[in-house]
Amino acid sequence: MQEFRNISVVLVQTSHPGNIGAAARAMKNMGLSRLILVNPAEFPSGVAVGRAAGAVNVLESAAVVDSLPEAVADCGLVIGASARSRRIPWPMLSPEQTAQQVAAECNSSAVALVFGREDSGLNNEELQLCNYHVQIPTNPDYSSLNLAAAVMVLCYELHKVSLSIEETTLDTYHDWDQDIATGEQVEHFYQHLERVMVAIDFHDPENPRQLMQRMRRLFSRIRIDVMEMNILRGILTNIEYNISKRDK
């Protein structure tokens, strides 16, 4: 069995502490331990401890952060679980493909599996921080799973893959000469890109027409590495420099 490292389960603004406890239990059952809570309504919580049963250590070591960008700042692969499809289509994985993708990358960079709020799921901005979305196939007339049940399905798929593979067989970026860019590095790039597109009058923030969403989707598809990102940042910096020279 391969030990999966570097995998976090991220729960965004969970309202019911019982779901946090049940998610921690599902994680430990399936061999995962890194839990990140983004703005939970109630945590720490006795109810969560009760539902976690023998997985209290997962709760005790959970990190609590203020925002999803903060939770995924160090991640090279971010996968968001969503019961619904969205306005701009995004690369989708099945639960089985999710487990394969995570196994292929978790030895080379940190990975996050992101789950949304009980009432409204993940918002569009949060979904756009993800490289892929995963939808668990369900009854189309009643598609939304309980949060901890959704965590269990994906952790179980991961555990099955970990039981079946040899170390490095799936490690896509094993021999890569550069690290894959992290969530934080990619966020800085998007901000820089937006600034330059405004400066060259390509992008009108008053009339954005989904431009930034489409740029995010483009770059999140290609798993850009740190060197490639630096080249693009360098190009943007030179464009800015040349604009400022021209305007003098």
Contact footprint for ligand SAH (CB under 6 A): 81-84, 115-116, 118-122, 134-136, 138, 143-145, 147, 150
Rounded-to-integer distance, Cα 176 and Cα 196, Å? 30
Q: Which of residues 150 and 193 has its CB atom nearest to ligand SAH in the complex?
A: 150
Q: Would strands 7-12 and 63-65 be described as parallel, antiparallel, or unpaired?
A: unpaired
Query: Smallest distance from the beta carbon of 13 to ligand SAH, in angstroms?
Result: 10
Tokens 């179980």 correspond to: 156
Q: Which of residues 144 and 230 has its CB atom nearest to ligand SAH in the complex?
A: 144
- Nearest CA among 25, 28, 71, 21 for reference residue 43: 21
Query: Smallest distance from the beta carbon of 239 to ligand SAH, in angstroms?
Result: 38
Query: Smallest distance from the beta carbon of 246 to ligand SAH, in angstroms?
Result: 47
Query: Smallest distance from the beta carbon of 70 to ligand SAH, in angstroms?
Result: 18
Q: Which of residues 11 and 181 has its CB atom nearest to ligand SAH in the complex?
A: 11
Q: Say what the alpha-carbon torsion angle 45, 46, 52, 54 is, to the nearest 10 degrees.
A: 130
Query: Smallest distance from the beta carbon of 199 to ligand SAH, in angstroms?
Result: 37
Q: Which of residues 145 and 215 has its CB atom nearest to ligand SAH in the complex?
A: 145
Query: Smallest distance from the beta carbon of 30 to ligand SAH, in angstroms?
Result: 16
